[in-house]
């Protein structure tokens, strides 16, 4: 579809159209030359706020640090951070505001995949560079969009390879949230399990509002798998992590969770989740000088008693810094020049290690950690460097096909 063709439309709306053209000139807002407009869209309230809040905070922290260090190309960043309140309509509304009256030169944000698919077309239409920083189902292939977060290949491959090998797992029972993320991740896991000689004996899908998992817990016991993989998502599905130990199953069959960060962990008792495994780019307990320094700054900014943060905060923080480095490399805020600079594989040493842009897919190459819950804390039990987003690499090449703007499904 061609981008917005106001001119063509004006021809046909005739007399009305002439009156439309004038305000475009009147409305032009003059921005001070020493600032650059940047937008952020995160759910700081509503049902997704357990994820969105730390992302919003992370972008704010990154921007404040950059401004304190002199800004980007000598300009101070003027950040417009909107709270989208876990409501898709707000995403559409605020995204349109950012690209029109605000004239943002880059926008960071989107929490759920649904929200990303609402705003991604808007940023394309209005030619505004966009960064999405939430782990997701993979496959987005868009010249204008950069994803600085984990895809299934990154979250699942290293951790499952490690688990299957170390525990000799053959039969895997899987349960997923009944939406896009669940379907794509399950397909990816199936492929991966086959490669390692294991099989998925069940793929069960649960609507997001299901709270009672007793039927499934019975089915799992009948099936006697070597491993349970949970791709359950959101507040209602937390019920599983309570009902599983209540049925006396904790520790009897190992459970690996594809969506389980500090956001979920802190809603549960330590005794309910002992031994669960999970895998992301970043966990707060990662032991490194860079992380210690980062946590220090985070605590100074948001208070020493801030909630435990996770990979979402760090991916968002990295994304802002990667954008800054790209602008400086390009020597310009021009969208096409910044995209070209990003495609050179610009990287940043973040709290979770070195993250860099993957040229063909606009995704990120990053270290991945496998963690196990022990006494209510994440304990890192395995780490891999430079994990690539293989699922998206297999389908997306933006250097060969720069006009793509789609999300591939496996």
Partner 1 sequence: MIGRLSIDGQMLAVVTLSTILLLILPQVFEIDTILQLTLNFSFSILALSLAFVWGYAGIFSFGQAAFFGIGGYAYAATAINLGDSTPAIVAGVLVPTLFAALFGYFVFYARLTKIYVAVITLVMTLILYKFMGQTAKPDYMIGNARLGGYNGIPAVPPINVPGQPHLFAGPDEMFYIAGFSLLAVYVLLRWILGTRFGKVIIGMRENEKRMELLGFDTRLYKLLAFVVAAAVAGFGGVVFTNWNAFIDPHVFQLAFSAQPIIWVMIGGLGTLAGPILGTFILSTLSLELGVQKALDVNLLLGAIFTFFVLLVPQGIIPTVRNLLENREAAASNKTDGTTESRG
Partner 2 sequence: MVIAGIQILNTVAGLALISLGLAIIFGMMRVMNFAHGELLMLGAYSVQLAHSSGLNIWISMFVVAPLFVGLVGVVIELLVVRRLYGRMMDTLLATWGLSLFITGLITMIFGNMTRGISTPLGSFEIGGIRESSYKFLIIGVTIVLFAAIYFVLRRTRVGMIARATMDNPSQVAALGVNPGYVYTATFAVGAALSGLAGAVLAPLTGVLPTMGAAYIGKAFITVICGGEAILAGTASAAFLFGTINQVTTITLNPEFGEVALLIGALLMLRLLPAGLSSSFRRKLL
* Chain residues that interact with partner 2, rule: CB under 8 A: 45-47, 49-50, 86, 178, 204-207, 209-212, 214-218, 221-222, 235-236, 238-239, 242-243, 245-249, 267-269, 271-272
Which of 271, 361, 351, 360 has its CA nearest to residue 310? Answer: 351
Q: Which two tokens stand for residue 179?
A: 């939406």
Rounded least distance, CB 270 to partner 2, Å: 10
Rounded least distance, CB 118 to partner 1, Å: 5
Rounded least distance, CB 26 to partner 1, Å: 8
Q: Which does 89 bind (CB under 5 to 8 A by kind): partner 2, partner 1, none?
A: partner 1
Please state, in angstroms and rounded to a whole number, the distance separating the CA atoms of residues 366 and 323: 16
H-assigned helices in 101-175: 113-125, 152-167
Q: Which does 217 bind (CB under 5 to 8 A by kind): partner 2, partner 1, none?
A: partner 2
In the list 70, 168, 207, 251, the residue contacting partner 1 (rule: CB under 8 A) is 207
Q: Is 113 in the site for partner 1 (CB under 8 A)?
A: yes
In the list 76, 78, 162, 180, the residue contacting partner 1 (rule: CB under 8 A) is 180
Rounded least distance, CB 157 to partner 1, Å: 22
Please state, in angstroms and rounded to a whole number, the distance separating the CA atoms of residues 282 and 272: 23
Which of 118, 198, 215 has its CA nearest to residue 164? Answer: 198
Which of 208, 143, 198 has its CA nearest to residue 168? Answer: 198
DSSP string, 274-340: TT-EEEES-BTT---HHHHHHHHHHHHHH-TTPPPPBHHHHHHHHHHHHHHHHHHHHTS--HHHHHH
Which of 229, 215, 217, 148 has its CA nearest to residue 185? Answer: 229
Q: Is 4 in the site for partner 1 (CB under 8 A)?
A: yes
Binding region for partner 1 (CB under 8 A) out of 19-27, 243-251, 293-301, 314-322:
19-27
Say whether 182 sits in a helix, a strand or coil.
helix
Q: Is 12 in the site for partner 1 (CB under 8 A)?
A: yes
Q: Which does 113 bind (CB under 5 to 8 A by kind): partner 2, partner 1, none?
A: partner 1
Please state, in angstroms and rounded to a whole number, the distance separating the CA atoms of residues 362 and 342: 8
Q: Is 211 in the site for partner 1 (CB under 8 A)?
A: no
Q: Is 204 in the site for partner 1 (CB under 8 A)?
A: no
Please state, in angstroms and rounded to a whole number, the distance separating the CA atoms of residues 194 and 282: 27
Rounded least distance, CB 384 to partner 1, Å: 30
Please state, in angstroms and rounded to a whole number, the distance separating the CA atoms of residues 351 and 359: 22
Q: Is 266 in the site for partner 1 (CB under 8 A)?
A: no
Q: Which is nearer to partner 1, 71 or 121 (CB)?
A: 121
Q: Which is nearer to partner 1, 6 or 300 (CB)?
A: 6
Which of 309, 310, 315 has its CA nearest to residue 363? Answer: 315
Instruction: Write out the binding residues for partner 1, residues 34-93 only, by CB under 8 A.
Output: 45, 82-83, 85, 87-90, 92-93
Rounded least distance, CB 248 to partner 2, Å: 3
Q: Is 109 in the site for partner 1 (CB under 8 A)?
A: no
308: alpha, beta or left? (left if phi > 0; alpha if psi -120 to 50): beta
Q: Which is nearer to partner 1, 46 or 376 (CB)?
A: 46
Q: Any residues with CB less than 8 A from the CB of 340 and at least 6 apart, and which?
A: 330
Which of 194, 286, 237, 277 has its CA nearest to residue 47? Answer: 237
Applying CB under 8 A, what is the total number of residues that bind partner 1?
48
Which of 203, 263, 208, 268 has its CA nearest to residue 232? Answer: 208
Q: Which does 118 bind (CB under 5 to 8 A by kind): partner 1, partner 2, none?
A: partner 1
Count of residues for the chain?
A: 410
Q: Which is nearer to partner 1, 23 or 74 (CB)?
A: 23
Rounded least distance, CB 57 to partner 2, Å: 15
In the list 51, 130, 146, 183, the residue contacting partner 1 (rule: CB under 8 A) is 183
Q: Which does 180 bind (CB under 5 to 8 A by kind): partner 1, partner 2, none?
A: partner 1
Please state, in angstroms and rounded to a whole number, the distance separating the CA atoms of residues 127 and 129: 7
CA 290 to chain centre: 21
Residues that bind partner 1 (CB under 8 A): 1-2, 4-6, 8-9, 12-13, 16, 19-20, 22-23, 26-27, 45, 82-83, 85, 87-90, 92-93, 96-97, 100-101, 112-114, 117-118, 120-122, 178-180, 182-183, 205, 207-209, 409
């Amino acid at each position: 579809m061609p981008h917005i063709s106001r001119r063509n439309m004006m021809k046909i709306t005739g007399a009305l159209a002439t009156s439309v053209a004038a305000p475009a000139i009147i409305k032009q807002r003059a921005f001070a030359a020493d600032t650059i407009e940047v937008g952020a869209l995160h759910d700081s309230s509503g049902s997704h706020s357990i994820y969105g809040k730390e992302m919003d905070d992370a972008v704010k922290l990154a921007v404040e640090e950059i401004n304190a260090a002199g800004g980007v190309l000598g300009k101070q960043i003027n950040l417009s951070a909107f709270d989208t309140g876990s409501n898709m309509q707000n995403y559409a509304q605020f995204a349109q505001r950012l690209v029109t009256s605000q004239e943002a030169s880059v926008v960071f944000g989107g929490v759920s995949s649904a929200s990303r698919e609402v705003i991604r077309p808007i940023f394309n239409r209005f030619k505004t560079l966009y960064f999405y920083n939430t782990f997701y189902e993979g496959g987005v292939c868009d010249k204008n969009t950069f994803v600085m977060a984990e895809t299934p290949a990154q979250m699942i491959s290293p951790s499952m390879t490690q688990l299957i090998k170390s525990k000799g797992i053959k039969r895997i029972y899987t349960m997923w949230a009944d939406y896009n993320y669940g379907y794509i991740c399950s397909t990816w896991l199936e492929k991966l399990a086959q490669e390692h000689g294991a099989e998925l004996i069940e793929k069960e899908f649960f609507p997001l509002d299901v709270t009672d998992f007793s039927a499934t817990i019975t089915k799992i016991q009948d099936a006697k798998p070597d491993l349970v993989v949970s791709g359950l998502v959101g507040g209602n599905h937390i019920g599983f992590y309570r009902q599983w130990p209540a049925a006396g199953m904790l520790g009897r069959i190992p459970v690996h969770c594809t969506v389980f960060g500090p956001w979920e962990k802190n809603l549960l008792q330590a005794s309910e989740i002992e031994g669960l495994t999970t895998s992301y780019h970043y966990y707060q307990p990662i032991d490194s000088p860079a992380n210690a320094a980062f946590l220090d700054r985070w605590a100074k900014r948001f208070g020493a008693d801030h909630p435990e943060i996770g990979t979402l905060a760090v991916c968002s923080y990295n994304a802002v810094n990667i954008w800054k480095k790209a602008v400086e490399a390009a020597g310009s805020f021009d969208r096409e020049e910044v995209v070209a600079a990003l495609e050179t594989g610009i990287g940043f040493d973040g709290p979770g290690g070195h993250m860099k842009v993957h040229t063909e897919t606009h995704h990120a190459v990053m270290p991945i950690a496998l963690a196990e819950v022990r006494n209510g804390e994440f304990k890192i039990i395995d780490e891999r460097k430079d994990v690539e987003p293989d699922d998206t690499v297999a389908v997306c090449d933006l250097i060969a096909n720069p006009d793509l703007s789609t999300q591939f499904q496996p």
